Structure 1
Amino acid sequence: MARVPPERAPRLLSPPVLGWILYDFANTIFSFVVITRYFNDWIVSERGQPDIYVGLMSAAVSIALLAALPVIGARADREGRHKPVLVVFTVTCVAMTALLGVVEPVLLALVVAGLATFAFNTADSQYHPLLAVVAPEGKRGRVSGTGVAVGYLGTLVALFALGAYVDDGEAQKAFLPAAAMLGVFALPCFFLVREKGRKSDSYVRASQRSLTLLVAGFRRARREPYGRLLLARFLYVDAIATVIQFLTVYARRTGDFDGDAIDALLALSTVAAIAGAVGAGLLAERLGPRRVILGTLVITVVTLVATAATGSSALLWVAGPFVGIALGSLSAVDRIFFLRLVPAERRGEEFGLYALVGKLSSGFGPLVLWGGTV
């Protein structure tokens, strides 16, 4: 009797997984260039505008996302197709990022940056559910952690490539090449990740139902276990987003950091984020995502409290890497935890809430914690 060969386990880096991971690479290029390094430096440090302008822009984007993300997520769930939304809004983000490289009026630049950020976050909200499409449950920790780690390699690539091209006082020059890199590295996800899809209602009827589901989703989250994770996520993303968004501005104001020193600090923090993402993804498979999240938050709180209490600019060399570890770890692990807690048939809808909570926190955190206190 012929022996039946054992079924081969799917490769970790299959073409769909590779495409999904490279999208993380593309994503962090935008996040680094527009949110962390160059946009705030351009508006606040080079153009001399108040910090609160950037905070108000972030808050306005958050309000728009509050209305849009759950509706878009519910629609994508019913169609079983998240990638079309990702493609449309990624292309929009690329176009708006390129436009930032040529606009001059500050108000117009803030509007364009807001549109780019809205498009980025909308695409991102439909990127996370694709993890369930490209990877089986037993490998999602490694795939998620690898995606975040490779994503932060995108930060390093952008940092060194743009650092060699953009001189101090010329931050606007970063946006056109950043748009090109974002578009190029997003393409594999467009072509390699495939969904089956299914028939759906008409757009009007689906939108009406989506609005109802938005209200129901918030009510449901109050009763479900993932609601507590969403509340926790709002709080810790609030703090981390504020640190990330204004780290460049704060470092310049200490008087001890020029452009090269800021790039070195960001590079060190990014390497720490890569290590955090890989390590957290592996630990989540062994210890569970909840324990990894709690441990990460404890270490981060201690570091930030110590830095704030001393007011020492030298401690930024410690705080930056620890925030990087926290960002990498939480990015890799909390989406795994959330994916585990939500029903499969509502992943897109609930990930709309997941993304929405993060984006609201990212928008209002800098406005309230930084703009309201500094």
Structure 2
Amino acid sequence: MGTKIEPTVIQPGDKWLNKHTWAWASWDWGQAAINAVMITFVFTVYLTSELFGDTDHSSLVLSQALSLAGLLIALLVPVTGLRADAAGRRKLWIMVNTFLLVVVCAAGFFVYPDPRFLIFGVAIIAALSLFSEFAGVNYNAVLNQISTRATVGKVSGFGWGMGYVGGILALALVLFGFVQPLVDWPGANTTDSLNLRWVAVFSAAWCLIFALPLFFVIPESPSTVSTKIPLSQSYKVLWGRIVGLWREDRNLLFFLGSSAVFRDGLSAIFTFGGVIAAGTFGFTLTEVIIFAIVGNMVAALGAVIGGRLDDVIGPKAVITGSLIGLLLAGAGVFFSPGASGFWIFGLLLTLFVGPAQSASRSYLSRMIPPGREGELFGLYATTGRAVSFLAPMLFGLAIALATPFVASGEAQRYGILGILVVLLIGLFLLLPIQSPRKTSNA
């Protein structure tokens, strides 16, 4: 079963910033409401507040739900992405999973401020994480349709930047429209946390509206194999590709494994950042959103600076330095006695996250043999989720182990150590890997 090199919708020499790039990046702009508002800084803070009972218990339940979602992602996402590529149904499955995201997100309106609704609420967050990854695998794979080898970095960075800016704007609208409204309107009513429940509907609408350009502008992907892959053979084909890498390029395979670990730690910083700010350092929801807006700005700045350093000192040095910076800043958060310390070290965390994310993608781009971009970027996306349960699991485990020995409400702080362990493991796995050669592509 031979693979075909996938054609792009643009040709070398075409402008990289075109209607396809805008349409593709618009999806990331819309998806930012799911990630920044629902999963990270607003709705999870609502779920882990005292409205739903003991905050340590709520944080533990949330981490367990995300761990379960991570296990499902590890089992299901690799083959769903593989089958979508093979069948030429990539855009179709982006659309299907985006609609599922919208429906599940809107269901957050029915999560009332009562401990009896905690399980329902965290189940929604876990489902959002799951469907987001289903859509994201195919979304990332579209990158090879709308870019050339010489422009893939620019296009990828533009999409990442659009995601950050979309998150900033969505958070600002939530802050001034629902949490601290500039105008008194029915959606700002705080009775039964109506304003926060309306945030779920707002996020669903935001996600859908900005996904529409991708639906209408980006063409469906062609089939990449001459025959369709039966469901029963999907895992066998996936395993065959991994075995092939073991034989042909173990350095690349080891990078996929190490990046899967440290990228899970990077995701956890944002996933649990708002929860820690509110539960451990006493931030109000307004303060959490303001921190999130500033943090996204700092992360975007870090990604730009890291991208420039990448071309000078190489991606491995950028990732290594970023992970060390994250470990030091994370330790600073853990030992900080108050909110001022969280502001300082928390923003340092966001500063180092951007370079680590962008350099990781650049690292792989430099290592991919010509003609195998689609296959290996897809494997990069799926291996990144294969251990997506690890950071939430260690976050929850650290809280559970600390609970009997600390005062009520203090155990959540120890979840930070669980995230730092994941980053440390990822760093140790990265160090022995050879740096990729620089390419000459402009």
Contact 1:70 1:349 in 2 (8 A): no
In the other structure, the counterpart of 2:236 is: 212
Q: CA RMSD, aligned part only? A: 2.7
Deviation digits for residues 58-106 of structure 1, max 9, x if unmatched? 1111111122112112213323442222121111111111112224433
In the other structure, the counterpart of 2:8 is: none
Q: Which of residues 298, 321, 325 is equivalent to 2:347? A: 321
Range 229-238 or range 164-173, more displaced: 164-173
Q: Which of residues 74, 84, 87 is equivalent to 1:66? A: 74
Report the AA paired with residue 317 of structure 1. Answer: W
Asked if residue 272 in structure 1 is aligned to residue 276 in structure 2, the reply is no
Paired with 1:339 and 1:108, the residues of 2 have a C-alpha distance of 40
Paired with 2:62 and 2:176, the residues of 1 have a C-alpha distance of 26
Contact 2:264 2:388 in 1 (8 A): yes
From the superposition, tell whether residues 256 and 41 of structure 1 become closer, same or farther in structure 2 (CA, over 3 Å). Answer: closer
Report the AA paired with residue 102 of structure 1. Answer: F
What secondary structure sits across from 2:33 in the alignment?
Answer: helix
Range 92-101 or range 315-324, more displaced: 315-324
Asked if residue 193 in structure 1 is aligned to residue 218 in structure 2, the reply is yes
Contact 1:149 1:273 in 2 (8 A): no
Paired with 2:224 and 2:242, the residues of 1 have a C-alpha distance of 26
Unaligned runs of 5+ in 2: 1-10, 180-189, 400-410, 412-442
Mapping of residues 219-258 of structure 1, within 5 Å? 219-220=243-244, 222=246, 224-258=250-284
In the other structure, the counterpart of 2:183 is: none
Paired with 2:12 and 2:86, the residues of 1 have a C-alpha distance of 32
Mapping of residues 119-158 of structure 1, within 5 Å? 119-158=131-170
From the superposition, tell whether residues 77 and 8 of structure 1 become closer, same or farther in structure 2 (CA, over 3 Å). Answer: closer
Using the TM superposition, give the Cα deviation of residue 132 of structure 1 relative to its aligned residue in structure 2, in angstroms.
Answer: 1.5
Contact 1:19 1:189 in 2 (8 A): yes
Paired with 2:326 and 2:300, the residues of 1 have a C-alpha distance of 16
In the other structure, the counterpart of 1:22 is: 26
Deviation digits for residues 102-136 of structure 1, max 9, x if unmatched? 24433333333322221111110111121111111
What secondary structure sits across from 2:230 in the alignment?
Answer: helix
In the other structure, the counterpart of 2:13 is: 9
Using the TM superposition, give the Cα deviation of residue 225 of structure 1 relative to its aligned residue in structure 2, in angstroms.
Answer: 2.4
What secondary structure sits across from 1:194 in the alignment?
Answer: coil
Asked if residue 281 in structure 1 is aligned to residue 302 in structure 2, the reply is no
Using the TM superposition, give the Cα deviation of residue 20 of structure 1 relative to its aligned residue in structure 2, in angstroms.
Answer: 1.5
* TM-score, scaled relative to structure 1: 0.87
What secondary structure sits across from 1:101 in the alignment?
Answer: helix
In the other structure, the counterpart of 1:51 is: 59
Asked if residue 118 in structure 1 is aligned to residue 130 in structure 2, the reply is yes
Report the AA paired with residue 131 of structure 1. Answer: L
From the superposition, tell whether residues 329 and 29 of structure 1 become closer, same or farther in structure 2 (CA, over 3 Å). Answer: farther
Q: Which of residues 208, 213, 219 is equivalent to 1:183? A: 208
Contact 2:281 2:342 in 1 (8 A): no
Using the TM superposition, give the Cα deviation of residue 337 of structure 1 relative to its aligned residue in structure 2, in angstroms.
Answer: 2.6
From the superposition, tell whether residues 92 and 256 of structure 1 become closer, same or farther in structure 2 (CA, over 3 Å). Answer: closer
What secondary structure sits across from 1:329 in the alignment?
Answer: helix
Range 50-59 or range 328-337, more displaced: 328-337
Range 119-128 or range 36-45, more displaced: 36-45
Q: Which of residues 96, 107, 124 is equivalent to 1:88? A: 96
In the other structure, the counterpart of 1:357 is: 383
Range 152-161 or range 259-268, more displaced: 259-268
Deviation digits for residues 24-83 of structure 1, max 9, x if unmatched? 212222111222112321221132252121111111111111221121122133234422
Contact 2:307 2:359 in 1 (8 A): yes
Contact 1:90 1:123 in 2 (8 A): yes
Report the AA paired with residue 384 of structure 2. Answer: G
Paired with 2:58 and 2:122, the residues of 1 have a C-alpha distance of 12
Paired with 1:284 and 1:27, the residues of 2 have a C-alpha distance of 27
Range 303-312 or range 90-99, more displaced: 303-312
Using the TM superposition, give the Cα deviation of residue 357 of structure 1 relative to its aligned residue in structure 2, in angstroms.
Answer: 3.4
Report the AA paired with residue 229 of structure 1. Answer: F
Q: Which of residues 35, 39, 46 is equivalent to 1:31? A: 35
Using the TM superposition, give the Cα deviation of residue 193 of structure 1 relative to its aligned residue in structure 2, in angstroms.
Answer: 2.0
Contact 1:23 1:189 in 2 (8 A): yes
Contact 2:40 2:270 in 1 (8 A): yes
Paired with 1:40 and 1:220, the residues of 2 have a C-alpha distance of 41
Contact 1:149 1:278 in 2 (8 A): no
From the superposition, tell whether residues 292 and 215 of structure 1 become closer, same or farther in structure 2 (CA, over 3 Å). Answer: same
Using the TM superposition, give the Cα deviation of residue 227 of structure 1 relative to its aligned residue in structure 2, in angstroms.
Answer: 2.0
Unaligned runs of 5+ in 1: 1-6
Contact 2:264 2:385 in 1 (8 A): no
* TM-score, scaled relative to structure 2: 0.75
Deviation digits for residues 222-262 of structure 1, max 9, x if unmatched? 55323222222233223333332222222223454222221
In the other structure, the counterpart of 1:295 is: 321
Identical amino acids, percent of aligned pairs: 23
Deviation digits for residues 145-189 of structure 1, max 9, x if unmatched? 222112111111111101123338553331100010011111112
